[in-house]
Homo-oligomer: A and B are copies of this chain.
Amino acid sequence: MIEDKNQNKTDLAALGEFGLIDHLTKNFTIKQTSTIKGIGDDAAVLEFNKGQIVVTTDMLVEGVHFDLSYMPLKHLGYKAIVVNLSDVYAMNAQATQVTVSIAVSNRFPLEALEELYAGIETAASLYNIDVVGGDTTSSTTGLIISVTAIGTVDSENAVYRSGAKPNDLLVVSGDLGAAYMGLQVLEREKEVFKVNPNNQPDLDGYTYIIERQLKPEARKDIIELLKDLEVKPTSMIDISDGLSSEIMHLCKHSNIGCDLYEDKIPLDPQVISTCEEFNIDSTTVALNGGEDYELLFTVSQEDFPNIKANPNFTVIGFMKDEASGMHLITRAETSIPLKAQGWNALNN
């Protein structure tokens, strides 16, 4: 008798589209009072009593944004939500709802999608948001996840990319470059695995950077902290494509220049040691690596006392007039123009 190795795998077509959505979302609970009607009608119905609504959307494509050979599906579901929430927080808003659309090929059994949705639910639970809609369809090849996130902000509190002024301080949360270096380690282990599938990777020295790649967090805590500190940034953006590219967005939208100090860029020791191991310049990684999902913002100088002693923040430069341009001041105190060499999904 031939053993059925797929005995625990359920074919997606067996459930049908509606059965699948019902099955995957049956454990989702409504947490936000603004959610009047979630999944289950032509559209979700939301009611916000005041303020403004923010809306953002991001699409993750297999083979472009993720590699399932080292990205567990549960982590992928989690990350797909987090990267969208990060954009909501970058508006100084609170995230409230998401919709999730997925296209999957038949090679994914139901159990794989259950893992994906378990990650989505974990993120929804942790960030206190509701999954209020979505679409489930088939793809001819890989997996595609499209998430739209909705949030709310008092009209006077929304922070745009465009509000920075000369002399404002440039501040970043957390540390940079870890997600990129985590990816380098995972890619290396994948190549090792291809040569010798019996080799067990030893990832003990890379736990932080791998977690930053596989399970990034959106800085909801920073938005709350800024509120507690009574600091309203003059401009803000999240770091998805690399520090350099994001600084240039702030400068371009605000019509100003900037000096960024290389020696101020916050790096985790694991990033520094892994950069040495891979013989990569850590500043280049921080500038262009991307996927940090930290918040980059500007504050007026009078707010400096409120943030200076806080370990969550690092002042990495200051804004100048537009004619001064955008520069990196190196450790050797030379000034070189900033370039955006960040991750570009269209070149991959």
Residues of A within 8 A of B (CB): 12-13, 15-17, 20, 36-37, 40-48, 51-59, 61-65, 87-88, 90-91, 93, 97, 99, 101-103, 132-142, 144, 146, 148-151, 153, 155, 158, 160-162, 236-238, 253, 344-348
Using A43-B93, A46-B53, A54-B44 as known contacts, say yes or no to A64 and B138 having CB atoms under 8 A apart: yes
CB distance from A150 to the nearest CB of B (A): 7
Provide the residues of chain B in CB contact with A44, threshold 8 Å. 54-56
Number of identical protomers = 2
Top 8 A-B pairs, shortest CB-CB distance: A146-B146, A43-B56, A42-B90, A43-B54, A137-B345, A148-B148, A42-B87, A63-B140
CA of A127 to CA of B20, assembled, Å? 32
Kindly list 20 other residue pairs between chains A and B, CB separation below 8 angstroms, not including A59-B137, A64-B103, A146-B146: A12-B346, A13-B344, A13-B347, A16-B347, A40-B253, A41-B253, A42-B88, A43-B88, A43-B91, A45-B52, A45-B153, A46-B53, A46-B54, A48-B53, A61-B137, A64-B140, A103-B144, A137-B346, A141-B141, A144-B144
A148 close to B41 (CB less than 8 A): no
CB distance from A233 to the nearest CB of B (A): 12
A348 close to B53 (CB less than 8 A): no
The closest CB in chain B to the CB of A245 belongs to B18
Using A41-B160, A42-B87 as known contacts, say yes or no to A57 and B101 having CB atoms under 8 A apart: yes
Subset of 13 A-B contacts with CB under 8 Å: A13-B344, A20-B346, A42-B90, A42-B91, A43-B55, A43-B149, A44-B56, A55-B99, A59-B101, A63-B140, A137-B346, A138-B348, A140-B141
The closest CB in chain B to the CB of A60 belongs to B137
Interchain CB contact (< 8 A) of A346 among B16, B65, B93, B146 = B16
CA of A20 to CA of B59, assembled, Å? 16
B103 close to A59 (CB less than 8 A): yes
B150 close to A42 (CB less than 8 A): no
B52 close to A150 (CB less than 8 A): no
CB distance from A113 to the nearest CB of B (A): 11
Provide the residues of chain B in CB contact with A40, threshold 8 Å. 161, 253
CA of A346 to CA of B140, assembled, Å? 11
Provide the residues of chain B in CB contact with A153, threshold 8 Å. 45
Provide the residues of chain B in CB contact with A58, threshold 8 Å. 101, 135
CB distance from A235 to the nearest CB of B (A): 10
The closest CB in chain B to the CB of A14 belongs to B346
The closest CB in chain B to the CB of A132 belongs to B55
Using A132-B55, A144-B144 as known contacts, say yes or no to A138 and B45 having CB atoms under 8 A apart: no
The closest CB in chain B to the CB of A348 belongs to B138
B139 close to A61 (CB less than 8 A): yes
